[in-house]
Structure 1
Amino acid sequence: MSALPSLPESTSTPLPIADAWTRFITARHAGEFSEAWLILLCEKFPSVQQAAVLVESNDGQNYVPIAVWPSADAQMASLGTAVQRALTERRVVAQPSPDDEETLHVATPITAHDQIRGAVVLAMPASGAPLALLLRELHWSSAWLSNLLGKRDHDMAVSAHRRSLGVLEAVAVALRHEHFQQALFDACNDLRQRFDGSRAALALVDRGELNLAALSEAATFEKASPLVQAYAAAMAEACDLAQTVETGTDTEDAAHFRAHAALLERTGAARVVSIPVTAQARCIAVLTIERTQPEAFTAEDRQWLDTFCGLLSPIVAQRTHAERSSLQRFRDEGERMLAAIVGPRHLVWKAASAAVALLLALLILVPVDYRVSAKTVTEGEIQRVVAAPYEGFLAAGYVRAGDTVSKGQTMAQLDDHDLRVEQARWSSERDQYDNKLREAMAGHDLTAIQVVSAQLREAQAQLDLLDDKLARAKVLAPYDGVVVSGDLSQQVGTPLEAGKKLFEVAPLHSYRVILQVDERDIAQMERGQHGRLVMNGLSGRSMPFTVGRIMPVATAQDGRNFYRVEARLAQDANVLLPGMEGVGKVEIGKRKLGWVLLHTTFDWIRMTLWTWGL
């Protein structure tokens, strides 16, 4: 903290004592009052060589001289040591000059409201100086300065209070509307009236582009108009400079701010000020106020506007962020994620992004074998139905489904009791007709011979039919195979109709594979494709097969459509049995990994969009 900065030399002469008292009584500002007070003090003590009154600056960072006696020169800088010590120790300090031990420096702090607000420092000869009288006089007379500084603090507090109320009222105007555009419009109108301006404007910065958002006394305006473009250029100039720009038609710096000079020329105003509104060291808006009067904005006005812009900054940032469209929100979130990925820090985001990128590369670039999976059932290549040879009753059933049979093996027996009775009857009638035929031939009765011969043939035909039925009373296996279906063990004695299916027999070691292919995959199936089959009961062994025939008829099952695809095993499988189920996979070819995993989902999405008419 600098206690006493060096001052330029002054050629002013001290006032006469009478004039000093007059000036002391009629002083209108602190500098005049302090100078008159200091003259009176030094006139009372002629031994004082130099003196100064210092007060705290407005920013509170240092102390500046408000009055000096007899005049300001470079030698007064040596008084700073005493002043610094008095301010630090908060007491009266009397010490020799660092440049001349014959000179004594006396410094005393000036307090107001229990706070040090200034100091008085004097230089006088070290020998023969009335130090006690001087200190007593300083003690009593410094009350004038304390009162002056206290009034100064009071005036500053009142000004700050008035400024705070005005700023809060203006901020309340900017907050009372639901729509931010209307709030900015009312805020511009309020600022124009508050500063007696001709027009006030506010522009927002979005992605480096400045757009005029509100203009006082204009609810709507054409953004492409020359006036709006002039405002935008002036505001962009202040935003680029990142500082408050104030200029007028009568100022010399107008040429430095060309956009503002062009704005004044177009609007006919005499004064303009543009203040950037910043948030996190980034310009988010610019406020511009014009005046028709050439008077400059006062320091208090500038301080008011700076305070208002400081409070307006979070409001603008929050409201613009809250009123973003869905597209803007998506874009901002994307940029935020991109910044986290490519910017500094955020190691978790970077690691996750690298993993996602690697996964996408695998899905897009890596080819894999694509196979269509389908539920599979084995069937015999040929299936023979063993049916009842004639109407009758079941006498016995010797096999059931799953049994292995040999060619000619008896599978079931029909009851032949009635057939044998009928056979005996027709055998007796045949013998009778044979005897009658002999008698007719002996009597040469041609008519009787013809009639009896016909009856004899009929009887013989009936016997042949009965012999054939008796031969078929035993149901025999047509070939070596396995019984696929049929179980008569619980049906002994029941009547059978001619042609009724008793068993289904499939040959051993000759099977075909039936694939139930989903309709979404049937387009990729072709004849001759290869695949492998794994049965439920033989999960540790896979068997190759070849697609043989694709049936063009679909069957519905569990709410989905399946097509029947026939395939043949590449080699005989002794362990297979008809009706076994498993899963078969047909090799289609090479496809990208992402397509293999997601093509079903994409197909569903396309169908859904098509259904909705999109």
Structure 2
Amino acid sequence: MRIDDATPSTAGPVLARWSGLPAGATPEQACTAWLEQFGREQPAPLRSLVLLRDTGPELRLAAVQPAGAAVQDLLPLLAQAAASPQAERLQTAAGWLLTQPLRAGEDLRGLAAAEFADAEQAQRAAARMAWGAGWLLALQSARPASQQALAEARGLLQSMAAVVAEGSFDAACLSLANRLAARWKADAVLVSWVDGLRVHIVARSNASHTDERSNVVQAACAAMEEALDLRQSVQGHAGNGFRCEAGSLPAHAAYAEAVPCESVATALLFHETVPVGMVLLQRQEPLSDEDLETLDTQCMMLAPLLAQRREADRSLWQHAAASARHALGRAGDDSLLGWKLGAIAVATAVVVAAVVPVPFRVTAPAMVEGEVQRAIVAPFQGFVQNARLRAGDTVRAGELIATLDDTDLKLDAEKARAELDLAERKEREAVAGGKRVEMRLAAAQAAQARAQLDLAQEKLGRVQLLAPFDGVIVRGDLSQQRGSPVEQGKVLFEVAPLTAWRLILKVDERDIAWVEPHRQGELALAGLAGQHQAFEVKRVTSIASAEGGVNHFRAEADLRDAGASLRPGMEGVAKIECGSASALWVATRRLADWVRLTAWEWLP
């Protein structure tokens, strides 16, 4: 894992403490002092160590904290970190190992490492290690003279602290130019930055403004571009005929003639192995090879700080564009192969889903009802005598379901029969006596009594409530209401046939536009989950009902080949065939409809 996001907020106090480290008599003592100071800061490491390179290519252990701690288990990770040009964060058995290579250009001088309990602590300590490692690098770069090495280290740390303390990128570059001019006794120091394919002069020592249209500035840009093309730090002066190992330096010679000066040196600022800027020194005397190497070291340590300051000053759109460029660059390398393969798989799946058609079906809750439901009502006002059956029982045509009390009806029938006999006797007596008026009156009374008797007998014939056909009782239970009164016309039972069914669908209002008569579909009932029943939509009503905060429209469908196991009131899920569409549209249509509706609602 690469470390690119060190935070400079605490740089000043940390660099001040490191700049005051005592000068060790040996590199081992200096490294031990550095580790002790590093361990005093929070978060404190579990183990820390410094590896230094002497004359050979091997790295040796110069110091370790705590003293005498074993580091053999870290050797494979340290070898991996030494091969990397950047700081690394590697997982260990006890936590995370933070490493910082000590490089002067392409030359590895050493390696600093610290083990922390978790990844967050390692990330917080990344900036502290990167800045403090400059002291070690300067010490290693000028090891023969320890006092001079420590002075170089302090100067470098002070320059780093000054860069971090400035409020903007331009101010940081100007501070760096002034410090480098004082350190190297240069007549002028120019700091430039690479913007795409163009080199832009950012700061000039002891000057608040530079005119890019002037001949001197344009000559300086040409000299820096010359070093950028060679991808190495170069120095041209009269002694070497403005030549280097890579060839002649005509742009440096032109700048030296335009200023004029005797020596022009250009050092590259590398960030993440990419040259991001240059520093040009204008002097009357050339730098020695050791001084040029020290300048390279300083630029290498200062470049990441300037890059972070540059990124901090960018606008939001510039950050977005840089992130996009970085993502595109990472897409073509060999990092994060698992994530890239996963992204390719997801993109392929999305493309396939967008072009491959699949059946489009509307899902709706469904309930089974009988095609015909016959109501059995109370034929007259009375009382419940008994109830043999109740809801859920199957019945045959003519089977007794319940009986009403007939005591009052029998009394009414006997009363009507007695009144009929009396009226008929009176009628006969009036006929015998020739009394026409009395005869007619008696005949009317007899007709009235006969009608009352017929009514009572008819009611007596209806006290038994019988099943109208073979079916099942879907509603009604009088088994616990014996003796209770019932009103005439009250529905006591409902009977549905077992051979004819209809399906009631509750279609979401968001899907009702797709449901039409003659649509086919399948039904899966909760009680018969392993069986699917085919149906055909017959009718879509305009009746809506709210349920669960969603409006549903009622649709009716006929079940085909309904089995004997169906019962009224069964519920399940119905899927209505509505043609075909792409899998992506089927999966996202609800979301797309919601977005369109919300946008229409909020847009003016």
Instruction: Give the TM-score of the pair, scaled to structure 1.
Output: 0.64
For residues 599 and 223 of structure 1, what CA distance do their matches in structure 2 show?
57
Correspondence for 2:557: 567
Alignment of 1:168-567 (within 5 A): 168-177=157-166, 179-192=168-181, 194=183, 200-205=189-194, 210-216=199-205, 234-244=223-233, 257-258=250-251, 261=254, 273-279=265-271, 281-289=273-281, 295-299=284-288, 302=292, 305-320=295-310, 342-344=332-334, 347-349=337-339, 351-567=341-557
Equivalent residue letter for 2:416: W
* Greater Cα shift, 396-405 or 159-168: 159-168
Flag the 1:502–1:187 CA change in 2: closer, same or farther, 3 A: same
Q: SS at the partner of 1:464?
A: helix
Flag the 1:390–1:158 CA change in 2: closer, same or farther, 3 A: closer
Superposed displacement of residue 430, structure 1: 2.0
Superposed displacement of residue 389, structure 1: 0.8
- Contact 2:233–2:296, Cα closer than 8 Å, also in 1: no
Superposed displacement of residue 599, structure 1: 3.6
For residues 409 and 165 of structure 1, what CA distance do their matches in structure 2 show?
110
Q: SS at the partner of 1:364?
A: helix
Flag the 1:444–1:297 CA change in 2: closer, same or farther, 3 A: farther
Structure 1: state its 5+ residue gaps: 1-58, 62-152
Q: SS at the partner of 2:457?
A: helix
Alignment of 1:586-601 (within 5 A): 586-601=576-591
For residues 317 and 282 of structure 2, what CA distance do their matches in structure 1 show?
36
Equivalent residue letter for 1:597: A
- Contact 2:391–2:473, Cα closer than 8 Å, also in 1: yes
Equivalent residue letter for 1:537: G
Flag the 1:589–1:233 CA change in 2: closer, same or farther, 3 A: farther
For residues 286 and 427 of structure 2, what CA distance do their matches in structure 1 show?
155
- Contact 2:426–2:442, Cα closer than 8 Å, also in 1: yes
Superposed displacement of residue 439, structure 1: 3.2
For residues 610 and 205 of structure 1, what CA distance do their matches in structure 2 show?
46
Superposed displacement of residue 488, structure 1: 1.3
Flag the 1:259–1:592 CA change in 2: closer, same or farther, 3 A: farther
Superposed displacement of residue 345, structure 1: 6.8
Equivalent residue letter for 1:541: Q
Q: C-alpha deviations, 1:521-580, integer Å up to 9, x for none?
A: 333222211111122232332221111222333323334333322111123433212111
Equivalent residue letter for 1:277: L
For residues 298 and 481 of structure 2, what CA distance do their matches in structure 1 show?
104
Q: SS at the partner of 1:539?
A: strand
Equivalent residue letter for 1:201: L
Q: SS at the partner of 1:564?
A: strand
Flag the 1:599–1:330 CA change in 2: closer, same or farther, 3 A: farther
For residues 417 and 450 of structure 1, what CA distance do their matches in structure 2 show?
33
Flag the 1:594–1:490 CA change in 2: closer, same or farther, 3 A: same
- Contact 2:471–2:497, Cα closer than 8 Å, also in 1: yes
Count of residues paired in the alignment: 461
Superposed displacement of residue 421, structure 1: 0.8
Equivalent residue letter for 1:188: A
For residues 215 and 439 of structure 2, what CA distance do their matches in structure 1 show?
138
Q: SS at the partner of 1:352?
A: helix
Give me the identity figure in percent. 37
Equivalent residue letter for 1:177: E
Superposed displacement of residue 241, structure 1: 3.1
Flag the 1:402–1:457 CA change in 2: closer, same or farther, 3 A: same
For residues 223 and 471 of structure 1, what CA distance do their matches in structure 2 show?
118
Q: C-alpha deviations, 1:30-87, integer Å up to 9, x for none?
A: xxxxxxxxxxxxxxxxxxxxxxxxxxxxx999xxxxxxxxxxxxxxxxxxxxxxxxxx
Equivalent residue letter for 2:173: L
Q: SS at the partner of 2:483?
A: coil
- Contact 1:480–1:508, Cα closer than 8 Å, also in 2: yes
Flag the 1:164–1:398 CA change in 2: closer, same or farther, 3 A: closer
Q: SS at the partner of 1:541?
A: strand
Q: SS at the partner of 2:510?
A: coil
Superposed displacement of residue 419, structure 1: 1.1
- Contact 1:400–1:483, Cα closer than 8 Å, also in 2: yes
For residues 535 and 168 of structure 1, what CA distance do their matches in structure 2 show?
77
